[in-house]
Structure 1
């Protein structure tokens, strides 16, 4: 009887190998890890029928290691980033998460052998990674930048936040779904991954009085310094605050803003303020949008234009950044200067003790627009978010809007 496989030995080796073909998947070669021909024959038969069974059930004929699938998934992410189909930041962070945590735990295990129980054990391992697990003694994390390896210090050894746990669970689920589409796992056998939902916490913002105090202090700090460099930095920070608060831009969108993105600004520069109108074109979260800012943001663009002209020694071009350093480079961050200003005002944290950041001005903008009666759907479009997100995170503002409805005149008839 002719066997559907062939045994052979490679030159210079006494171990037996098997080769056979599976329809639609080509020829497969596999080491049988034995020098005994009789044992090799039994193992070859088993390998062939296992491969045939997998192929008949829509899987790849050979078992694939988790680490192999992980690298294929990383390559897919990198291609999506190049095509603009995935956020650049995700393309930078996802490979490190996959290699450190997912491959660090599942490694060379067969990807189709991972069960619900394995995933649950991984989640617990991941929570303890930096406290009692493999990362507890790690002081630095190496990574590549511009073709050379550098390292950054590990500043915190703590349990990951609920938000981070959620994001990583979503990424692991994407990887396993990719494995299923590639035929490495049966769709019905894919392990269940529960995504932890972080509680909806109101964003740290400002009241109108707090914002007024902040802007007044900011202006005073500009005029009360004899140092030209410090005065310029504080003027840029003040303009940053005003634009962030009256446009609702995300910090990442502000950082990437060029003068060519301030649509209508150049043509209207010589006109009276009341006759000028601009739109902003911003990029962030892997998307771009054009939106309408409040008129109160316009004077701050004039200040930034003047400061950019001084730094560059010429009028800014469309490709020049709106927020520019004294060296004519794109301003990287206002984190330190903003923290100093917030501390000077006593506004570094909100009433709950939650620290305010540059993102707080976006929340201030959304809150004030809601208070002014702007339709939630239109506001969501203008700010590049969803109406669901506004409903979830600005419930306290909506409650304030409904205060008159919550104070009706009761008609109570006294009984004798």
Structure 2
């Protein structure tokens, strides 16, 4: 052991170790021990002076390793991924998702507890608290949930049910992201990043549409467009919804991918739109779950809706769309953020709000319809996974019960 009365710290050797350690106390922090990783005393003394000054500065700014609160770390994590002008749509969605989970659940529960105090039992305690948040916990009396979109504040009715296993699993991703951020900045070791057992993933079949239902929906949507010939603005909005459904069914794109489309993402459209119908071929660059757009091959039947959207924009605004113009625009020429309300009204009018099992249909149901139809046509799941920007595992998980048409005919047999 070594001690120097002129220094505020002490060097010492641990039993069974040849390397020096240092220990000292700071107001409000208790005793701190730091391994210096050297058996050379002179080197250890030089390193100790630097480590002590670093610890004093960190303590003054409340960022001493292991001493920083979860709440402050979570805020610092969000600040590190906050969107800017170079942020992709997917990164913006990820930021909004993390922010929502942190502000609604993680920070209220963990608060100013230090990151190192969040041991495994405490984390599982959080999971139990989260499961009952909306039923018997803090959210049971809340009537509405407020949220921001495009700089505006909206609200929706609170739903007082327990979260699904998949929702819990997604939210744990946010929790681990905060711990990874803490480890990256030296507040904890990487071994302290939690590995929580979340149980098996649920494999619920996704609600989709039969081809007969899609035809019924599109026919009704087209009729509703024609009914508004005397009200051009309403007719335009209904036409955009019709095209949104048609393109979604024939591309399998996610709703957010569709909303993020600009005309520059419709590769070859300018050249192909002047060709005959049977010759038209385009590719679409879509922002999926990666940070860069990925190209997909749409079904040829989607092309007509792109033509309709282009022509409708030109009629409304008196000019052609630019490459930076959103494909799905509102009346002001701005990017459409959601089709939820208009789609809900159309599904209600068509009697197609739910499938045969009572599962509610949403804009995502068109993606599931596309996947089912491609499998029935005989498209192999590897090709389909690439074109849908997802994994083979996800295709197998959610569409394994879809039987290709050729196989179905073989299984059915005939009376001949």
1:172 is matched with: 175
The counterpart of 1:210, out of the listed 188, 210, 213, is: 213
| Superposition RMSD in Å | 3.8
Q: Which residue of 2 aligns with 1:255?
A: 259
Q: Is the 8 A contact 2:287 2:293 kept in 1?
A: yes
**Distance in 2 of aligned mates of 1:62 and 1:51:** 10
Which of 381, 390, 396 is 1:385 aligned to?
A: 390
SS at match of 1:195: coil
Give 3-state SS (helix, strand or coil) of 2:316's partner: helix
Q: Does 1:201 align with 2:182?
A: no
Map Cα deviations across residues 215-266 of structure 1 (whole Å, 9 max, x no partner): 2222333334453333333322222221111111111111121222111111
8 Å contact kept, 2:4–2:10? no
Could you tell me how far apart the structure 2 residues matched to 1:55 and 1:152 are?
Answer: 54
Q: Distance in 2 between matches of 1:252 and 1:261?
A: 14
1:93 is aligned, of 94, 97, 110, to: 97
Q: CA 1:55–1:135 in structure 2 vs 1: closer, same or farther (change >3 Å)?
A: farther
Residue 26 of structure 2 aligns to a residue in which SS? strand
Partner of 2:306: 301
For 1:19-98, what aligned pairs fall within 5 Å after superposition? 30-31=26-27, 47=30, 50-53=31-34, 63-78=67-82, 87-98=91-102
User: Aligned partners of 1:21, 1:83: CA distance in 2, in Å?
Assistant: 48
Change (3 A) 1:133 1:4: farther
Q: Which has the larger radius of gyration?
A: 1
Alignment of 1:102-113 (within 5 A): 102-113=106-117
Question: Does the 8 A contact of 1:170 with 1:195 survive in 2?
Answer: no
Question: Aligned pair in 2 of structure 1 residues 85, 185: CA closer, same or farther (>3 Å)?
Answer: farther
Q: CA deviation at 1:103?
A: 2.6
> Which 10-residue stretch deviates more, 155-164 or 340-349?
155-164
What is the distance in 2 between the residues matched to 1:359 and 1:278? 23
d(CA) in 1 for partners of 2:221, 2:185: 57
Whole-Å separation in 1 of the counterparts to 2:149 and 2:138 = 24
Judged with a 3 Å threshold, the aligned counterparts in structure 2 of structure 1 residues 151 and 169 are, in CA distance, closer, same or farther, namely same
**Contact 1:77-1:86 at 8 Å conserved across structures:** no
Give the structure 2 partner of residue 126 of structure 1.
130
Matched, 1:329 2:330: no
Identify the residue that residue 239 of structure 2 maps to in structure 1. 235
Q: Shift of residue 119 of structure 1?
A: 1.1
Q: Distance in 1 between matches of 2:157 and 2:36?
A: 46
State TM-score, norm by structure 2: 0.78
Q: Which residue of 2 aligns with 1:272?
A: 276
Return the alpha-carbon distance in structure 1 between the equivalents of residues 149 and 201 of structure 2: 32
Secondary structure, aligned partner of 2:287:
strand
Partner of 1:329: helix, strand, or coil? Answer: coil
* In 1, Cα distance between equivalents of 2:26 and 2:157: 43
Q: 1:379 to 1:157 in 2, by over 3 A?
A: same
Check 1:320–1:191 CA distance in 2 against 1; reply closer, same or farther (3 A cut).
Answer: closer
Q: How many residues align?
A: 381
- Partner SS, residue 134 of structure 1: coil
Aligned mates of 2:134, 2:270 — CA distance in 1 = 51
Aligned to 1:392, what secondary structure does the other structure show?
Answer: helix
CA distance, structure 2, for counterparts of residue 340 and residue 142 of structure 1: 22
Q: Of residues 212, 221, 225 in structure 1, which corresponds to 2:224?
A: 221
Distance change >3 Å, CA 341–CA 260, structure 1 → 2 = same
Are the counterparts in 1 of residues 165 and 198 from structure 2 also a CA contact under 8 Å?
no
Paired residues of 1:248 and 1:363 also in contact (CA < 8 A): yes
For residues 233 and 289 of structure 1, what CA distance do their matches in structure 2 show?
Answer: 28
By how many angstroms is 1:117 displaced? 1.1
Structure 1: 5+ residue stretches without partners: 7-18, 33-43, 410-416
Aligned to 2:163: 160
Task: Return the TM-score normalized by structure 1.
Answer: 0.78
Secondary structure of 1:213's match? Answer: helix
Could you say which residue in structure 2 is the equivalent of 1:35?
none
Aligned pair 1:184/2:187, yes or no?
Answer: yes
* 1:396 counterpart SS class: coil
Contact 1:130 1:136 in 2 (8 A): yes
